[in-house]
Structure 1
Amino acid sequence: MNRRTGRSIPISAGLLQVEDCLDADGRIDLPDGTTFVSLIDRNIAHVGDEVAYRYLDFSGAGTHVSEITWTRLGVRMGAVAARVQQAAAPGERVAVLAPQGLDYIAGFFAAIKAGTVAVPLFAPELPGHAERLDIALRDSRPAAVLTTAAARAAVQAFLEQLTGLRRPEIITIDDVPDDAAVDFVPTTIDVDDVSHLQYTGGATRPPAGVEITHRAVGTNLVQMILSIDLLDRNTHGVSWLPLYHDMGLSMIGFPAVYGGHSTLMSPTAFVRRPLRWIEALSEGSATGRVVTAAPNFAYEWTAARGVPAADAGIDLTNVVLIIGSEPVSVDAIAAFDRVFTPFGLPRTAFKPSYGIAEATLLVATIAPAAQAQVLYVDRDELAAGTAVPVPADHDLAAAHVSCGQVARSQWCVIVDPDTGRELPDGQVGEPWLQGDNIARGYWDRPQETQQTFGARLTGTLANGSHAAGADLDRTWLRTGDLGFHLDGELYITGRIADVVVVGGRRYSPHDLEATAAGASPIVRRGYVAAFAVQDGDEERLVIVAERAAGTARVDPAEAVAAIEAAVRERHHAAVTDVRIVAAGTIPRTTSGKLARRACRAAYLDGVFDDRAITPRV
């Protein structure tokens, strides 16, 4: 664990080196005073004239490119932080409700520089997520809100309709003049102070604000740099991920550690034309290594809609692709590989990873030189709690992609959640985590914090324990996920809350959804939700599937029958209700994951009733 050795490295010593963040035993031990603000100040002192962030704006005619150097970022941070200090006291929350862009980055870092707690959210125009924004604002109770001139009217209108909430002061980032920085009051920020609240995606429960400390974010960024080999300053980031999401924030976080840079665009720009992402990756690949991150659906969407012409000059030779935020899909990797290998994509490009907001982000990933690895296990045995490898063509084979090895100075123990005892390799249980990257808890939720962050192991394995080297007197984080260790690899199989129980048997929703998606060309792959609902004393299996493009006029009856037959044959389960719905109907989290909880609620509320097609049982 972190030794707290009291080491301090002056800014004059140069850019921070990863070696500066390790103790004599190679464990992560951040120098005293390591915060986002200190890292940016160090970059200003040594690479101030170099680009920190680049934003590609596709909202108008053509492409507008904006850049900000480290020095310029420092000026904007100081000016906006001074205004924040006039509206909020140290430790109060300051929400960022702005469109994706350089002003968002300046506002986020300025809130931290001011000594307040940043709350990265989004402008109200984000479709389908007004309820999440409402919940986050009521929960965090910000003293001030940072936005832009373009979004201010919408932000003000949204805040006015929030009843029972103290009206926060609205600060328009791009209207704050540079000379406002003269009013900034230097403030002391401790590494164990909260940097920001990271609101969870809401896939299985209402969003909660995770308290990320400076120590946690600094530790996790170093873990990421070591795990993915981002030691070279000539490694660039490219991202369209929303900056209010933990993976999106990581893409502006890791350049701050060593003075690199990231190129950003909006999620909308990516969805409308995924080729933009590929073109930006190719441009970065021409000058050095380039790293990006995205969930399954993004790689599938790009493989379907973002393929360049053969003579487009696209070169992905130096690209690293992090894939995560949910159990990694082997189909997503295969589809992307198949399409982009001709453009130089290396076999080692994909880095299947596991991460959660409560651990700041990264928990595990595969080695830099490793290829993505697929393990096939017996589906029935896995449902019963044991991973039994089988051939890929086995009747009950279920594919699971390895998430590799746990990051340095972090521990992941697979535990029986009911007893708190460590399980042996090959047994399915709940991953429990420990390390300095773990968040402090949930904002203003002491009971949930104790339940999730206060777990204690009641027993470890005598041999081969994954808790070796951890502090057994320290608490552990319950992830709420399911997974297992096997042959030195970590596998994540899903969320405990998503497990489908029908007739006393447990089913993986991912397996059911994959079967349904493959049953008919009418079904849109990756857009199927499977869940159980209670009907008296019985559980009923329900599947909601979106239509694939170009099938709006096709009678869905044949698809419903095919789904029913495929699930019965493959899983020995009866589907009692199938809904074939229009594209975009199934709710998703802000990171693009299926929101099964919200989909189930919509089903129970009758949202899909006018599209009901009930199979024969």
Structure 2
Amino acid sequence: MRDGVDHDIGEGLLQIEDCLDADGGIALPPDVTLISLIQRNIANVADAVAYRFLDYAGGAGPVVDEITWRALGVRMRAVGHHVQCVAARGERVAVMAPQGLDYIAGFFAALNAGTIAVPLFAPELPGHAERLDTALRDARPTAVLTTSRAREAIESFLDSTVLPERPAVIAIDEVPDAAADDFRPTLIGVDDVSHLQYTGGATRAPVGVEITHRAVGTNLLQMILSIDLLDRNTHGVSWLPLYHDMGLSMIGFPAVYGGHSTLMAPTAFIRRPLRWIEALSAGSRIGRVVTAAPNFAYEWTAQRGVPGDAGDVDLSNVVMIIGSEPVSISAIDTFRRAFTPFGLSPSAFKPSYGLAEATLFVSTIDPGTEVNVVHLDRGCLSEGRAVPVAAGDPAALPVVSCGHIARSLSCVIVDPPSRSEQPDGFVGEIWLQGDNVGRGYWGRAEESAHTFGGRLAATNEAGGHASGATLDRAWLRSGDLGFYLEGELYVVGRLADLVVVSGRSHYPHDIEATAASASPLVRRGYIAAFTVPGEPLERLVIVAERATGTARADPAAAVAEIRTAVEDRHGLPVADVRVVPAGSIPRTTSGKLARLACRDAYVAGAFG
């Protein structure tokens, strides 16, 4: 070892073909982990920038903070030494730092020390203290990595959290580089747990998915191959939180091919979405740039982030992953209209599907192709059949294709009661099998056995999608609903979110879109539809946030318009409509609607 680099890991930067078998399937070599990939980068491109952080905390212009692969290696060993002083191999180390380079160094240092990283967030994130408390009590970390700025808040939060033992608190930015000399190299196995990825809490309390190093490496390769990110001049731009699975993937990409990612805080984006566009434009001028965001971010940027001067922005080299479930064609079209004048390619958008239990990525549309939308009969879809109709049909519901399944991953659509594969064109639960699937939920054997232990009772011999799968191997039950049409995967919602009235299933996002279009007083994307118990049937409730500038407007007309629109389009009587102030509806840590939490709040009387 010299300069802290183990030169037994292989010569040169990783070559994707070295990770493929004779049939082109992904076969991760036993020495490939995020840590070994970073060591390759240190050995080959040590002085190249690995990560760049745009810090807008001071006001208008960003302070640019950069770290090279060599410097990252030093920080990983220095912080890793301090971790080794308080945590043994396999123990959990929570990362609770503000977004920035210290967070990245802390996450990789925890892996480097042979511990299990738990990417979380600092208590300063508003509205999510309960989720943070749940994750800490579940993971029981031996140590917490933070920064000197956040330490006081961390200490105070830990004082209020009931843990068997108080974790040691390490301020990453206070660890001197000289501590790297005392780091003890640790052998990391590809099937060791890399980190616990806590779910966002959209349909239940957050749980920690055990993600192995094999799953991380496999999933990053699946994304690179599916989105065609093989050019080493491709780099990332992201404001997504680093405790989120997609945010972590944006720091994983550079580790694979020695590139770099430019990051900013989520709050910097929310306050001024033009910052995201400007960072994408700067990247687009020097090479291909990839980014990712959910529906609301593209709509928000189209509303508040359009530049005044088209000559200053170039989006011609940008790939935009949109990974909400389900993907909104309205969000895509709104963004396209706003940014096509800035060079945005017709094939820039990549509607994709993924989930934390599969590390992240499952499917996307092919490189160079444009977004594909089918219009389905709403009534047939409520009965579980995908029947295309004309776009102008009054019963038409637009559904966006999430493309083809990632390499070396099997995906079948299953009827949950019979555990039988559904034919194409029929809705069922999405089941997955592959090396990118997590090992289970941390400390939850029974729940893990159910979610990660699905057993197919029957497959379709003709036209089925289980080809290449190991049929006697367990499947991941995603909890998401979808169907295949002409070989492409379409995602239509979550089992737990279904609105079921009189035995018929309705998709909440469809009802919410109807409510949004019924009145300008409510915010599109900030409406939750759900049912509550009633006699003799479940009662449909809609909670909608006010649009900007409507705080003093009487909501009576909007309530009546929403009731009429939902009944006319969906045949559903609305028992109650509540128009609430902006920010009232609970959301997950990744910004998705938390409909079940909203229902609980409604039942508890939170909305008056």
After TM superposition, the score normalised by the length of structure 1 is 0.97
Q: Find the residue that maps to 1:535 and give its secondary structure.
A: coil
Deviation at 1:31, TM superposition (A): 1.2
What's the counterpart of residue 42 of structure 1? 40
What's the counterpart of residue 550 of structure 1? 549
Q: Find the residue that maps to 2:256 and give its secondary structure.
A: helix
Q: Find the residue that maps to 1:13 and give its secondary structure.
A: coil
Write out per-residue CA displacement over residues 57-91 of structure 1, whole angstroms, 9 at most, x where no aligned residue.
Answer: 00003310000000000000000000000110100
Matched, 1:59 2:83: no
Gaps of 5+ in 1: 1-7, 610-617
Q: Find the residue that maps to 2:516 and give its secondary structure.
A: helix
Residues 406-421 of structure 1 aligned to structure 2 (within 5 Å):
406-421=405-420
Deviation at 1:10, TM superposition (A): 4.6
Write out per-residue CA displacement over residues 546-577 of structure 1, whole angstroms, 9 at most, x where no aligned residue.
Answer: 01111111111000000000001000100010
The answer (yes or no) to whether the contact 2:215–2:435 under 8 Å persists in 1 is: yes
Aligned partner letter, 1:368 = P
Distance of 1:23 and 1:56 partners within structure 2: 40
Aligned partner letter, 1:348 = S
What's the counterpart of residue 109 of structure 1? 108
**1:363–1:311 distance in 2 versus 1, CA, 3 Å:** closer
Matched, 1:181 2:180: yes
What's the counterpart of residue 246 of structure 2? 247
Distance of 1:443 and 1:162 partners within structure 2: 19
The answer (yes or no) to whether the contact 1:124–1:154 under 8 Å persists in 2 is: yes
**1:215–1:405 distance in 2 versus 1, CA, 3 Å:** same
Q: Find the residue that maps to 1:107 and give its secondary structure.
A: helix
Residues 9-88 of structure 1 aligned to structure 2 (within 5 Å):
10-61=8-59, 62-88=61-87
Distance of 2:18 and 2:147 partners within structure 1: 38
Distance of 2:223 and 2:45 partners within structure 1: 22
What's the counterpart of residue 565 of structure 1? 564
Distance of 1:9 and 1:57 partners within structure 2: 35
Deviation at 1:164, TM superposition (A): 4.2
Distance of 1:34 and 1:12 partners within structure 2: 10
What's the counterpart of residue 484 of structure 2? 485
The answer (yes or no) to whether the contact 1:9–1:32 under 8 Å persists in 2 is: no
Write out per-residue CA displacement over residues 117-144 of structure 1, whole angstroms, 9 at most, x where no aligned residue.
Answer: 0000000000000000000000000000
The answer (yes or no) to whether the contact 1:100–1:265 under 8 Å persists in 2 is: yes
Distance of 1:30 and 1:592 partners within structure 2: 33
Aligned partner letter, 2:567 = R
Deviation at 1:186, TM superposition (A): 1.4
Write out per-residue CA displacement over residues 187-232 of structure 1, whole angstroms, 9 at most, x where no aligned residue.
Answer: 1110000000000000001000000000000000000000001101
The answer (yes or no) to whether the contact 2:140–2:163 under 8 Å persists in 1 is: no
Aligned partner letter, 2:192 = D
Aligned partner letter, 1:428 = V
Q: Find the residue that maps to 1:151 and give its secondary structure.
A: helix
Aligned partner letter, 2:439 = R
Distance of 2:373 and 2:162 partners within structure 1: 50
Gaps of 5+ in 2: 1-5
Aligned partner letter, 2:24 = G
Farther off after superposition, 24-33 or 97-106: 24-33
Deviation at 1:308, TM superposition (A): 0.2
What's the counterpart of residue 198 of structure 1? 197
Residues 486-525 of structure 1 aligned to structure 2 (within 5 Å):
486-525=485-524
Q: Find the residue that maps to 1:480 and give its secondary structure.
A: strand
What's the counterpart of residue 122 of structure 1? 121
Aligned partner letter, 2:30 = D
The answer (yes or no) to whether the contact 1:147–1:170 under 8 Å persists in 2 is: yes
Deviation at 1:239, TM superposition (A): 0.1
The answer (yes or no) to whether the contact 2:220–2:252 under 8 Å persists in 1 is: yes
Distance of 1:499 and 1:116 partners within structure 2: 39
Aligned partner letter, 1:296 = N
The answer (yes or no) to whether the contact 1:124–1:130 under 8 Å persists in 2 is: yes
Distance of 1:365 and 1:554 partners within structure 2: 42
Distance of 2:74 and 2:532 partners within structure 1: 55
Distance of 1:17 and 1:419 partners within structure 2: 43
Deviation at 1:371, TM superposition (A): 0.3
Q: Find the residue that maps to 1:588 and give its secondary structure.
A: coil
Matched, 1:238 2:233: no
Aligned partner letter, 1:572 = G
Distance of 1:9 and 1:508 partners within structure 2: 54
Residues 257-276 of structure 1 aligned to structure 2 (within 5 Å):
257-276=256-275
Deviation at 1:535, TM superposition (A): 2.0
Residues 44-443 of structure 1 aligned to structure 2 (within 5 Å):
44-61=42-59, 62-443=61-442
Write out per-residue CA displacement over residues 7-40 of structure 1, whole angstroms, 9 at most, x where no aligned residue.
Answer: x995452000110110111000011211111000
Distance of 1:607 and 1:469 partners within structure 2: 50
Distance of 1:387 and 1:530 partners within structure 2: 22
Distance of 2:164 and 2:368 partners within structure 1: 51
What's the counterpart of residue 3 of structure 2? none
Aligned partner letter, 2:587 = R
Distance of 1:9 and 1:328 partners within structure 2: 44
Q: Find the residue that maps to 1:225 and give its secondary structure.
A: helix
Aligned partner letter, 1:23 = D
The answer (yes or no) to whether the contact 1:9–1:31 under 8 Å persists in 2 is: no
The answer (yes or no) to whether the contact 2:137–2:162 under 8 Å persists in 1 is: no
Distance of 2:313 and 2:602 partners within structure 1: 44
Distance of 1:91 and 1:228 partners within structure 2: 33
Distance of 2:387 and 2:130 partners within structure 1: 42
Write out per-residue CA displacement over residues 151-190 of structure 1, whole angstroms, 9 at most, x where no aligned residue.
Answer: 0000000001112431000001000011111221111110
Write out per-residue CA displacement over residues 486-539 of structure 1, whole angstroms, 9 at most, x where no aligned residue.
Answer: 001100000000000123221110110000000000010110000000024421
Distance of 1:251 and 1:163 partners within structure 2: 33
Aligned partner letter, 1:224 = M
The answer (yes or no) to whether the contact 2:98–2:121 under 8 Å persists in 1 is: yes
Q: Find the residue that maps to 1:414 and give its secondary structure.
A: strand
Q: Find the residue that maps to 1:441 and give its secondary structure.
A: coil
Aligned partner letter, 1:146 = L
Distance of 1:22 and 1:524 partners within structure 2: 47
The answer (yes or no) to whether the contact 2:9–2:31 under 8 Å persists in 1 is: no
Distance of 1:153 and 1:537 partners within structure 2: 53
What's the counterpart of residue 4 of structure 1? none
Aligned partner letter, 2:204 = R
Aligned partner letter, 1:391 = A
Q: Find the residue that maps to 1:479 and give its secondary structure.
A: strand
Deviation at 1:464, TM superposition (A): 1.1
Distance of 2:567 and 2:376 partners within structure 1: 19
The answer (yes or no) to whether the contact 1:192–1:214 under 8 Å persists in 2 is: yes
Matched, 1:594 2:603: no
Identity %: 69
The answer (yes or no) to whether the contact 1:11–1:45 under 8 Å persists in 2 is: no
Farther off after superposition, 78-87 or 533-542: 533-542
Distance of 1:260 and 1:77 partners within structure 2: 18
Distance of 1:142 and 1:539 partners within structure 2: 42
Aligned partner letter, 2:405 = V
Q: Find the residue that maps to 1:291 and give its secondary structure.
A: strand
Q: How many residues align structurally?
A: 602
**1:405–1:311 distance in 2 versus 1, CA, 3 Å:** closer
Deviation at 1:451, TM superposition (A): 0.1
Distance of 1:65 and 1:314 partners within structure 2: 19
Distance of 1:534 and 1:165 partners within structure 2: 38
Distance of 2:456 and 2:553 partners within structure 1: 54
Q: Find the residue that maps to 1:538 and give its secondary structure.
A: coil
Distance of 1:12 and 1:32 partners within structure 2: 12
Deviation at 1:481, TM superposition (A): 0.5
Write out per-residue CA displacement over residues 309-360 of structure 1, whole angstroms, 9 at most, x where no aligned residue.
Answer: 1345100000000001321000000000000000000000000000000000
Farther off after superposition, 527-536 or 335-344: 527-536
Write out per-residue CA displacement over residues 251-278 of structure 1, whole angstroms, 9 at most, x where no aligned residue.
Answer: 0001100101000000000000000000
